[in-house]
Structure 1
Amino acid sequence: MTDSRSAVDAANNPYASTRTGYYALCILTLVYSINFIDRQLLSILQESIKADLLLSDAQLGLLTGFAFALFYTFAGLPIASLADRSNRRNIVALSLTVWSGMTAVSGLALNYGQLLAARVGVGIGEAGGSPPSHSMISDIFPPEKRASAIGFYSTGISIGILFGFLFGGWLNEFFGWRVAFFVVGVPGVLLAAVLYFTVPEPIRGLTENRASTGDSPSMLSVFKLLLSRPSFILMALGAAMNAFAGYSSSNWIASFMIRTHEMPTGELGSWLALIIGVGGAIGVFSSGVVADKLGKRDKRWYMWVAVCACAISVPFQISMFLVDDAYLALILLIIPAVL
């Protein structure tokens, strides 16, 4: 029965052509890029927003941090569970529509409460982007090509950061922060339609020669399994602390450079796009190569590479906030951005 079902699935595989698979990968990578463009945009715009809406730094911190992260985290769990049981392409398309639409709506905000509500909407929408996309890629590409496909998909982070800073900085300087939200948000809604109508839902388990039964483990059983493994707990804590420091710093770098060194947003956005966007892409690629090479001798190097990168970054990250010259501060940022 299983063999016959697998044969039927193979005959109906919408990704029998490799061209279709790579097209879907490119669309999903664009979606991931927009995810980070919309996420990064606020940090380069927040000084203009603060002046226009008369906000405090505490309110800005809530917008860029807690309000977004809280809903992003807790919405992601049920959405990921839903993706195990339903059409993942539809979930990604709907999520993209929600977060891009809420990004555009942010440009209409007249007060802090409205902007906060829009930001919460962005967080909820973006929570439904990555988990279903990873699952789709795993069912489009066989195991021997999957790592490369995921690696290509991950470039969306650097692409998004690059264009988020670049577009946000110059749009804000010439047209204002409201226009920046519109210009960045609307294309995402259009891309959602392209995704929905041109990217088919892959057959679950086909690339691993197994038929999907439609069943998936409960969230509780998954939590129990993960929490029973000390290595997972330690890695999760380490990643959480790294994200805490990294995102806190990146969310305020633009404000720091504008307030302390009086850099215009257009020029600053260009510098940050190159340093964090391009530098981050180089770091992601090179760290993977180094980890794979050293990991052949000792699997612990996969963790040690990350630890070394964090340790080396610390003095450079601190120093950039202490120097008097704006361009020296940006130069010091290169090392943490790459690592």
Structure 2
Amino acid sequence: MTTTTGATTATDGHIHGFGSKAYRSYVLTALLVIYILNFVDRQLLSVVAPQMKPELGISDTAFGLLTGFGFALLYTVVGIPLAQVSETRHRVWIMTICVALWSFMTALCGLAAPIVIGGATIGAFWVLLACRVGVGIGEAGCTPPANSLIADYFPPQNRAAALGYYAMGVTLGGVLANVIGGPVTDAFGWRWAFFIVGMPGVLIAVVLKLTVKEPPRGYTDPPGTIRRAKASFRDGLGEIASKPSFWAMTAGATIAAFCGYGIATFQSLFLNRSFGLSAGDAAVMINAPVGVISAFGTVATGWIVQRLTPRHPNAIGWLPGLGMIVSVPFYILAFTTHNLWLCLVGLCIGGMSKYGYLTGQYTIGQGVVSAQFRAVSIAILLFVVNLLGYGLGPLFIGALSDFLFHLQANAMGAAELTRKACEGAGPASLSAELQAVCKVVHPQSLQRSMLITSAMYAVGGGCFILSCRWLQRDMVAK
């Protein structure tokens, strides 16, 4: 592994970056593929939900826990020490091991079934939760070292576009999870979806190690930049603590993740309950097109920012913030219309508008710190974003949906009605009166929960715009 201490040696790395232009493009695409795989494995659970959830017999709240906090807890806890190791160790090796681990644990999710140990039965829900925790531990080793690698491959003036390209992994991962997972679930069952999606990741991990070089740390820093021989977590936290733009952006990104992960988790269930779509139909007809259009919004934000920055240096803050605010009315349209195609239009425009925040969060997150703290900075950002955003967003929508379900059922004189009775084959065993109540409260409770959550994007957008107040003072990479 190559290390750099003291003043950076004379090089034009801060102008051209590491390696040839073609090789930098290959590395960036390889990291994008890894990030896509990260989100394919992460989002697959939401794709198979219309079939899996009735089989396991879990509530919306429990499903929110399974997809959100159950994954995010160890993902965030393990992320910071892995990032600190990434500041001094071989980043490509770390990513290789982590990709193989999370891919294997994704495949194991397909084996979730009750287990009897010493006369005690562990339910399939808890087995699946344990597998999801394993996925989270592996995926913790993806984004911090990847961001650190991108910063050493690409000079500051090209990073917004590079990170915008990399950030497409979030939406493209959702597209592939839907395109592969949805039809496989309809044809062979939800368990096969985990097997088919999980195992190729082990091969991809090997290709990553064999083809991506570890660049010298700080290679793209301007000549004369001082680097400590050893970077401590305390020093990194101290540097970040003095950057208010980082924390304003983090607040905005956390709100965006809270809304985005919550909506993505329950989107297939919403389409199933409101429009009667199967897992495969929801995935291919709605979720996949939304993901493609949203990916365009992510990379377009990076491209536009790169061109606006010479005249508007704070564009990386206010443009993503404006996009989040603009998305709100389109999400309201999507979750209130009774026309499936208007719903698709609202979800597409809303996703395209709001997902530019990913470009902003990574560019600002690593741009306000010196080279030796980039991975730690991104890990701290992701710790907050994922613990509070990803961890609580799905849980909030699920719990609010269940609360509204019982509130509406009580108001309609059906206090004894349960969510489980309204899912799958459950309604067939109900009286005509209770079936009528199910048709109203089962979709409406989730619809209203999604509406309330999507309105919060406006607050997150305001936080990104607020970060512009300190951004030029705080930025190290300019």
TM score, norm. by length of structure 1:
0.88
Residue by residue, what CA displacement relative to the aligned partner does 1:160-201 show, whole Å, maximum 9, x if unpaired? 121111111111111111110011000101111122233332
2:150 pairs with one of 128, 134, 137: 137
2:260 is aligned with 1:242: no
On the 8 A contact 2:35/2:170 being kept in 1, the answer is yes
How far apart are the structure 2 equivalents of 1:123 and 1:298? 38
2:177 is aligned with 1:164: yes
How far apart are the structure 1 equivalents of 2:292 and 2:165? 15
Corresponding residue number in structure 1 for 2:327:
313
Residue by residue, what CA displacement relative to the aligned partner does 1:216-244 show, whole Å, maximum 9, x if unpaired? 43222222222223222222112111211
SS in 2 for 1:243: helix
Runs of 5+ consecutive residues of structure 2 not aligned to the other structure: 114-123, 354-478
How far apart are the structure 2 equivalents of 1:181 and 1:212? 47
Residues 40 and 309 from structure 1, CA distance in 2 versus in 1: closer, same or farther, beyond 3 angstroms? same
Corresponding residue number in structure 2 for 1:78:
81
Map 1:219-234 → 2, pairs under 5 A: 219-234=233-248
Comparing 87-96 with 328-337, which one deviates more in the overlay? 328-337
On the 8 A contact 2:5/2:228 being kept in 1, the answer is no
What is the Cα deviation at residue 39 of structure 1?
1.3
Comparing 138-147 with 76-85, which one deviates more in the overlay? 138-147
SS in 2 for 1:313: helix
2:115 is aligned with 1:112: no
Comparing 314-323 with 163-172, which one deviates more in the overlay? 314-323
Corresponding residue number in structure 2 for 1:175:
188
Corresponding residue number in structure 1 for 2:232:
218
Comparing 271-280 with 107-116, which one deviates more in the overlay? 271-280
How far apart are the structure 2 equivalents of 1:309 and 1:217? 36
How far apart are the structure 1 equivalents of 2:286 and 2:102? 23
How far apart are the structure 2 equivalents of 1:238 and 1:147? 18
Map 1:1-339 → 2, pairs under 5 A: 16=19, 18-110=21-113, 111-143=124-156, 145-208=158-221, 215-339=229-353
Comparing 289-298 with 123-132, which one deviates more in the overlay? 289-298
Residue by residue, what CA displacement relative to the aligned partner does 1:270-311 show, whole Å, maximum 9, x if unpaired? 133443321112211333344455554444443332232222
How far apart are the structure 2 equivalents of 1:308 and 1:145? 22
Residues 192 and 210 from structure 1, CA distance in 2 versus in 1: closer, same or farther, beyond 3 angstroms? farther
How far apart are the structure 2 equivalents of 1:191 and 1:124? 18
Comparing 283-292 with 94-103, which one deviates more in the overlay? 283-292
Letter in 2 for 1:193: V
The CA RMSD measured in Å over matched residues stands at 2.8
How far apart are the structure 2 equivalents of 1:151 and 1:219? 27
Runs of 5+ consecutive residues of structure 1 not aligned to the other structure: none
Percent pairwise identity: 39
Comparing 29-38 with 216-225, which one deviates more in the overlay? 216-225
Residues 319 and 16 from structure 1, CA distance in 2 versus in 1: closer, same or farther, beyond 3 angstroms? closer
Corresponding residue number in structure 1 for 2:367:
none
Residue by residue, what CA displacement relative to the aligned partner does 1:205-226 show, whole Å, maximum 9, x if unpaired? 3344689978343222222222
How far apart are the structure 1 equivalents of 2:23 and 2:334? 46
Residues 220 and 178 from structure 1, CA distance in 2 versus in 1: closer, same or farther, beyond 3 angstroms? same
SS in 2 for 1:319: helix
What is the Cα deviation at residue 97 of structure 1?
0.7
What is the Cα deviation at residue 38 of structure 1?
0.9
How far apart are the structure 2 equivalents of 1:210 and 1:201? 22
Residue by residue, what CA displacement relative to the aligned partner does 1:10-51 show, whole Å, maximum 9, x if unpaired? 9xxxx7555444433332221111011111211111221112
Greater share of helix: 1
Residues 307 and 139 from structure 1, CA distance in 2 versus in 1: closer, same or farther, beyond 3 angstroms? closer
TM score, norm. by length of structure 2:
0.64
SS in 2 for 1:321: helix
On the 8 A contact 1:136/1:202 being kept in 2, the answer is yes
On the 8 A contact 1:163/1:273 being kept in 2, the answer is no
SS in 1 for 2:148: helix
SS in 1 for 2:68: helix
Letter in 1 for 2:241: L
Letter in 1 for 2:263: S
How far apart are the structure 2 equivalents of 1:59 and 1:257? 19
